Amino acid sequence: MVGRFETSITTTIRAPRALVWATICDTNRIDRAMGLVVPRYDWLKEGQRNLRRARASELGIDLEWIEPPYEWAEGEFVRTLRRYRRGPVDEAGFTVTLRDVAGGTEVAASVFLAAPWYIQLLQRFKLARGLRRYVTGLEEVFEGAGTELGDALEPPLLRAKRLFARTYQPTTGGPRTPTDTAQLEARSQRVQGASPALLARLVAWLREQPDDDVAQMRPFELARLWGEDRREVLRTFLRATEAGLVELQWQVNCPVCRVGARIVPHLDQVGASAHCGACEIDYGVDFARHVEAVFPCHPALRAVQTSLYCASSPAFLPHVTAQFRPAPGAVQEERVVLPSGPLLFRTQWVRRAAELTLDEPPAELTIRIDDGALALEPRGRSADGATLLRIAHQGAEEEALLVERISWNADAVLGTVIASLPEFVNLFATEAPALGVELKVGFVALLFSDLTGSTALYERIGDARAFAIVEEHFRVAEAVLAAHGGAVVKTMGDAVMASFPSLADAAAAGVAMIRAHDARFSAEGLTMKVGVHGGPCLVVRANDRLDYFGTTVNLSARLQAQAGPSEVVLTEENASDEAVAPRLAGLPRRPFAAKLKGIRDEQRLVALGAGSTTS
C-alpha cells in the first residue's frame, strides 16, 4: 500500500532572502547532500512535450522517473517533482519557501516521498538527515562569507556562486579531489607572459576549489568574482592552457534556453548546426553568439569528477527569474517579485512568447495562454513590490511558462571575443573550423590597413633595411590592435587584417594605429590607410588557420582602398553609430560616395583624418 512520508525543517538564516534563495534552490547540490543516486538522463517524447527522463538503480531496484519542469519564483519558493514510471515509488519532491523575518530569512524546506511503507522506512532517515545537513551547511557558508557579495542587479544565482567560492563547506560545496601539487607547481612555472598576480589566483583556485568549480571554468565569470580585468584573466587562461594547467574546450549554447547543447575539445568538431534536446530544435551555429570557450582543469593535476544529480535545477538557468507549470483549463495564481527591465514570457513546448518592460512592478499581471498565443495584461501599480501573477491556461496540454531576463548576458567568452585576442591567434593557430565547414558569425568588426610608400622605400634604402622597417611596422600595429581589444587575423604583403568584437574598438584602433605609425615612420616616407566595417560573415579554415569570409570582409577591404594617407574610412552609418561617434570626435571628416568593386549599391562613406598633423 502506497503512503506518503514527509520530512521538514524550518530555520532562520542571517542573510538577504534573494541570496538565501539562490543557494537553496540549487537542487543538484541538495540531491547530492541527501545521498540520492546519480541517474542517467535522456529525453522522452510525450505528445508535444519533450520531457527529461532519468534512470538509476538503487539497492538492486531499477528506477525510472520523469522530471517535469520545476516551479520557482526567484526569492520566493522552489517546488520540484519526480514522477516515477518504474520502481516502487510513485512520486517524490522537494519544496522550499522563504519569507523575511527579524534577523534574516526564514527557510521552510520539506521533502516528500509517496511509496510503500518499507521504502519509506529505508529512505526516511537518509532524507531527513540529508536535508538538515544541507541547511546547516548553508548557515556555515553565510557565517563564513558574509552577505555583501557584489552587484545586487546580478541574478541571485550568480551572486551565490561568489558566496560558495569564498567559503568551502563540504556538504554544500561537494567533493574536492586531491591536487597533484608537484605537477601544479611545475606547470605553473612554465607559464610565460601572464600576470603573476592573476596566475597566482588561478593556481590557488585550481588547488583549493571543489570539483564543481574547476570542471568547467569561465574566465569572465572569475574576472567578475576576483574584481579583475576580463581580458587579462582570459589571457592568463590561454597562457595556462599552453602550459598544461587547464584545457580549452568549446561549448555550443542553445539560442532559446541558453544552455550548453554539447561540448567538444577542438573547434574543428563544432558543426554548422546543432540540436537542443530541451527545446527540441535544430539551429544554425553562430560563432559570435552560440560558441563559448570554457576551461576545465587539466586532468593531470586533478581527477575531477562531477555528477549530475538533478538536470532540472534552477541553478542551471540564472536568466530565468520564474518558471511555472500551469495545468490546462485552470487558473494558477502566484505572488512574485519581478525584476525591472525587459522580460520575456514564453512557453516551452508550443512556441508562444510576449515581451514586457517593467519600470515598476504592476499590482497584477494576467497571462493568458491558448493553443496559439500568449497575452499579457498588467494592471495597477504594486504597493509592496510584489505582483500577483494570474496564469490562465486554455491550451490542450500541460505547459511550462518561463519568465526570462532579456537583457541578462552570461559571462561567456564567445567565439569572436576569444578569436580577437592575440594570445589565442598566436598560441592556438590551428584552432579553426573543419575544412569545408563554414560557421556563421552574426557580427564581427574587421579592420584592414595598408602601407603606402613601401615600394619606394625598398628602392631607396635597399631590401634588408626596408624589410626591417616594415617588420617593425607590423610589431607596432599588432601592439596597438591588442591594446584596443583586437588581434591580427593575417597579413598580406604590407596589409593587415584584424578582428574585433566591437566596432567602436576597431575604429579607435584604426586612429591609434595611424598616429603610432606616423610618429615612428613618417620620416621614412611611409603612410598608412585604414578601412573599418562590421557585420555578419563566415568563419572558415584557410591555410590551416581561422579566417573570415563574406561581404563584410570584402567591404572592409574596399573601404581601406578608398582611404587617403593617414585616413580611416567607415560607412556613414557606422561612423554615426552612438558607440563609434564619440571615439572619432574632433577628427577632420571627408564625406563622399563611392561605388565599390563587388558591392552592388553605391556607398555613402566618411574618411577621417587620423594623422598626428590633423588631430
pLDDT in tens, 418-464: 988 888 988 888 888 888 888 999 999 999 999 887 777 777 877 78
Least Cα distance to 394 among 365, 364, 373 occurs for 373
> Tens of pLDDT along 389-401?
999 999 888 899 9
Helix (H, G, I), strand (E, B) or coil at 227: coil
Across 232-379, the runs of DSSP E, i.e. the strands, are: 249-253, 260-264, 273-276, 281-284, 291-294, 320-324, 330-336, 341-347, 353-358, 364-369, 374-379
Distance, CA of 496 to CA of 560 (rounded, Å): 11
Residue 478 or residue 525, greater confidence: 478
Cα maximum dimension of the chain = 100
Determine what percent of the chain is predicted with pLDDT higher than 90: 63
Residue 533 or residue 164, greater confidence: 533
Across 285-386, the runs of DSSP E, i.e. the strands, are: 291-294, 320-324, 330-336, 341-347, 353-358, 364-369, 374-379
- pTM here is 0.88
Residue 302 pLDDT grade (very low, low, confident, very high; cuts 50, 70, 90) = very high
Least Cα distance to 587 among 478, 473, 510, 502 occurs for 510
Q: Are 385 and 337 in contact (CB under 8 A)?
A: yes
> Tens of pLDDT along 404-431?
998 777 789 999 899 888 889 888 888 8
Lowest mean pLDDT among 239-253, 501-515, 601-615: 601-615
Residue 613 pLDDT grade (very low, low, confident, very high; cuts 50, 70, 90) = very low
Residue 466 or residue 574, greater confidence: 574
Domain locations in the chain?
Answer: 2-171, 320-405, 413-609
Using the predicted structure, report yes or no on whether residue 504 has a pLDDT greater than 70: yes
Distance, CA of 335 to CA of 322 (rounded, Å): 11
Mean pLDDT computed over every residue of the chain: 90
> What pLDDT does residue 615 have?
39
Burial of 219 by CB count in 10 Å (0-12 exposed, 13-18 middle, 19+ buried)?
Answer: buried
Using the predicted structure, report yes or no on whether residue 350 has a pLDDT greater than 70: yes
The average pLDDT across 3-20 equals 90
Residue 614 CB neighbours (<10 A):
15
Say if domain 2-171 classifies as CATH 3.30.530.20: yes
* Backbone region of residue 382 per phi and psi (left: phi > 0; alpha: psi in -120 to 50; beta: other values): beta
CATH no. of 413-609? 3.30.70.1230
